Amino acid sequence: MDGGDVSVEGKVTCASCIKRPENAHLAVIGKSTGTCSSLEIFSVNSETTSLSSSPKATYVLEEGGEPVRIAVHPSGDDFVCSTTTGCKHYPFKKMDLGFRGRSETSVKVTERCLSYMVMKIITKFVCKEFPLQDVGPQKCMAFSVDGSKLATGGVDGHFRLFEWPTMRIIVDEPKAHKSFRDMDFSLDSEFLASTSTDGAARIRNTTDGVPVTLSQNTDQNIELCRFSKDGTKPFLFTTVQKGILKGSKDGDICVIDVTKMEISSLHKRLLLGTNITSLEFCPSERVALTTSSQWGVMVTKLNVPTDWKGPSLFFSV
């Protein structure tokens, strides 16, 4: 497992990947300096497992509130950001980049177009009216892989599941958890996994929100959860799962083959003695984007077997 980090001034509070054409992915990072909060966009280099040395664009949250969680739509065309004061929807403004006829090489043109596009997007940012703007901080937010649903989990344990983009409510359940910790959709968008601050985990059917039975030992303390994004079959809680990714409070990460219940790889002190506060995956690469309160943002390439393509659920415990 290889990792690279980037220096980001201020406290990093959340991060997520933005899918772009030809795997030219971006990362949007929420941060707070104490006096103001902002969203910054970096380019992601999966080959060197690193972010660009400086942000491609910065958007200051003049309306106040510290970023809590960012959910990017699978299309890469917009995202939702939860802050300590509510939620905001940020659509990207599409435009003709106008780089036809330039003499730069294709690589340079790509870099310039990308930078130009990001800067234009951010300077043209407009917060749209959003039903969740006044519901308080949402600790968890996630779009389904097919982009048709948005799920949110509040600090108060309130669970909501919406159709997207109509925002028709599918499930509205107060106290679904003691307080939400993390959530993620399966690759086929049929299931939603969520975890609580008390270590509990739950799986739901996204059609009606009905919980699916999940076996869990009383001494298990599950924190972060992620479904793999490179599988081709519907996820089931059976031995067909291939692996679990766990990140401990010592910054350790291990990959477990659940069919054998054996650790296939262990990576000690990846974040040098601090706990992993968020875990995201690059849309088309086996690259993890992690954040911690002490070390900020790190990009990590997962060294897993080349045939590891079955449906998987990643947990941080």
Give per-residue pLDDT as tens, 231-274.
543 332 222 233 444 555 555 555 545 345 455 666 565 555 56
Average pLDDT, the chain: 70
State the pLDDT confidence band at 120, using cuts at 50, 70 and 90.
very low
- How confident is the model at residue 314, as a pLDDT? 47
CATH number at residue 38: 2.130.10.10
Mean pLDDT of 54-72: 85
- Range with the poorest average pLDDT among 222-226, 298-302, 311-315: 311-315
Q: Is the pLDDT at 301 greater than 50, yes or no?
A: yes
The residue segments making up the domain with residue 158 are 2-230+278-292+300-306
- Tell me the helices (H) and strands (E) count for the chain, helix number first: 1, 25
Tokens of 255: 């990959």
Alpha carbon distance 106, 83 (integer Å): 39
Q: What is the pLDDT of residue 236?
A: 28
Provide the pairing of β-strand 138-143 with 78-83: unpaired
Q: Note the pLDDT of residue 73.
A: 94
Asked, for residue 247, whether it belongs to a domain, the answer is no
Q: Is residue 270 part of a domain?
A: no
Measured between alpha carbons, how far is 250 from 166 in angstroms, rounded to an integer?
42
- Is residue 267 domain-resident? no
Query: What is residue 173's predicted lDDT score, i.e. its pLDDT?
Result: 95
**Rounded mean pLDDT, 88-97:** 62
Look at residue 66 and tell me if it is in a domain: yes
Long-range contacts for 247-255 (Cβ within 8 Å, ≥24 apart)? 247/223, 247/275, 247/276, 247/279, 247/290, 247/316, 247/317, 248/275, 248/316, 248/317, 249/275, 250/275, 251/275, 251/276, 251/292, 253/1, 253/300, 255/302, 255/304
Find out whether 220 and 244 touch, Cβ atoms under 8 Å: no
Q: How confident is the model at residue 97 (pLDDT cuts 50, 70, 90)?
A: very low
Higher confidence at residue 305 or residue 196?
196
Neighbours of 230 (CB within 10 A): 15
146 part of a folded domain: yes
Distance of CA 207 to the CA centre of its chain: 22
69 vs 128, which has greater pLDDT? 69
The total of structural domains in the chain comes to 1
Query: For 22, left (φ over 0), alpha (ψ -120 to 50), or beta?
Result: left
Is residue 100 in a domain? Answer: yes
Q: How confident is the model at residue 228 (pLDDT cuts 50, 70, 90)?
A: low
Question: Containing H/E element for 169?
Answer: strand 169-173
Give the range among 32-36, 55-59, 96-100, 165-169 with minimum mean pLDDT.
96-100
Instruction: Give the CA radius of gyration of the chain.
Output: 19
Helix (H) or strand (E) holding 116: helix 106-123
- Does some domain include residue 48? yes
- What integer is the mean pLDDT of 292-309? 64
Of the pLDDT bands very low, low, confident and very high (cuts 50, 70, 90), residue 147 is very high
| Residue 314 falls inside a structural domain | no
**Which candidate, 83, 160, 79, 66, places its Cα nearest to that of 122?**
79
